[in-house]
Structure 1
Amino acid sequence: MITLIGKDLARPGVSFVFYGPAEECKSCRFKPSCVDSLEKNRKYEIIEVKDNEQKCPIHGENSVIPVVVERADIDLLSNSKNIFEGSTFEYSAPECSENCEYHDECFPEGLVDGDKCIIIKNHGKHHGECKKGYKLNKLTLGFVI
């Protein structure tokens, strides 16, 4: 999908989480091609940068550039026992209320309950100690759409 992003961020491989439109976006003529195609709290990766710079008061450099984005792959620590590359599953957040150093990896931004995911890469056992005693694996997930 195509969206607009600040000129200084418009590079292939850059990823970002869309937290929703700014107040100024509501009346902008570029809103349909900029923020309307993005889903709130989702992580995207820039695949391609287009030409055609536009003015935008939201960004520090006062301009945006069209980019092609896809939902970004997400790294996750999981205690699932049935983990193998290529398998698909519906994500459900783990039952954990610990606030440990691995929290952000167990609850990564851009991933919500009910997402249909595919395991792109199983990086193997995570060597850190889980406070809940879970045996964790580090995974890279893609999305099944």
Structure 2
Amino acid sequence: MGGQFGITHDDAKDNTTFTIAPEFGYAFNDMWTVAGMIGYTHMDNYNSFYIAPYARWTFFKRDFLSLLVDSGLGFSTGKYKGADSVNGFEIGFKPGISFNLTDNFALVAHYGFLGYRDKYNGNSVSGLSLKGNELSFSLYYCF
């Protein structure tokens, strides 16, 4: 169980963004986990909902450090005020690193995306993306 939370304010645009995305999953063993994220993002004139199931492969584990890759797909729907809603999807890979803080808590960071996105949360790309907004941090609690 884990997830992401964020709140930012852009002074130049006078725009506040709020995101919450809880995650739930099941670890079959030290190498394989199946999980999913359900997220909601709100900006001053935009709302988005997304769901993203994935499989996590942990290919390196040493002491408190693990290297991993999440492979999955995601579906999103978003709407600007006064406009039609836009649906999108993604399929691809997200590399990451996990810091196992205790037996029950882990901090996971992802950076980058390799795959295809079609209007997923507002952008469409294919290939490798290493933009700054591809960086995310999650805190996990393992039962």
Shorter-chain TM band:
under 0.3
Greater percentage in strand = 2
Q: Which has the higher contact order (CA 8 A, sep 6+)?
A: 1
When the two structures are superposed, what TM-score results if normalisation uses the length of structure 1? 0.26
Larger radius of gyration: 1
Greater percentage in helix = 1
When the two structures are superposed, what TM-score results if normalisation uses the length of structure 2? 0.26
